[in-house]
Amino acid sequence: MYSKEQVSKLKTQFWTNFGQYMKPVPGASGLPVNWINYKTGIRHIHFKMDADNTSAVIAIEISHPKEAERLRYYSQFVSLKKLLTSITTCNWQWNETLETNHKTISCISLQLNDVNLLNQADWPAIISFLKPRIMALDAFWDMVKDGFEQMGTPNNIAE
């Protein structure tokens, strides 16, 4: 059993190591990318990575507070499902509506089970899961981002 402080320290250490490992890897556009805190450039669309004591997850989260806008973005992703699958070579889990942290989101995700972020021996497996998928998401996003920007109004585009 780990204390809260130990858990926090191990999580910080993992994400710092992952960030350092990914730092020299350029994005699909050839520019540097902050892989840990990936910016899509579209407000309410986020690429997230997480890991805990049972699994690792990578996800596209659509968190627009207006349901119609959230579903419009989600529908755009659905229309690009074949392209996403082709580029990432993965079969994603699609959730049009998901309740999380007291808010409703749409989520497209992949999960690696039976890994434990608190066990450093599992870190290579977690990294091997996350790295190619975030890079593939970046390549996908590089191809489709303009279409999402054109969908939005000035209020939907990130600062």
Answer whether 0.85 is exceeded by the pTM.
Answer: yes
Residue 61 lies in a domain: yes
DSSP 158: -
- Cα torsion at 136, 85, 51, 12 (round to 10°)? 10
pLDDT over 70 at 8, yes or no: yes
Residue with tokens 């977690």: 126
Q: How confident is the model at residue 119 (pLDDT cuts 50, 70, 90)?
A: very high
What pLDDT sits at residue 159? 34
Instruction: For residue 156, tell me if it sits in a domain.
Output: no
The pLDDT score that the predictor gives to residue 28 is 96
- % of the chain residues with pLDDT over 90: 89
- Nearest CA to 13 out of 23, 3, 5, 1 is that of 5
Residue-level pLDDT at 151: 83
When divided into structural domains, the chain yields a total of: 1
What CATH number does residue 58 fall under?
3.30.1460
- Domain membership of residue 78 (yes or no) is yes
Distance CA 98, CA 14 (A): 27
Query: Residue 65: which domain range?
Result: 39-113+123-143
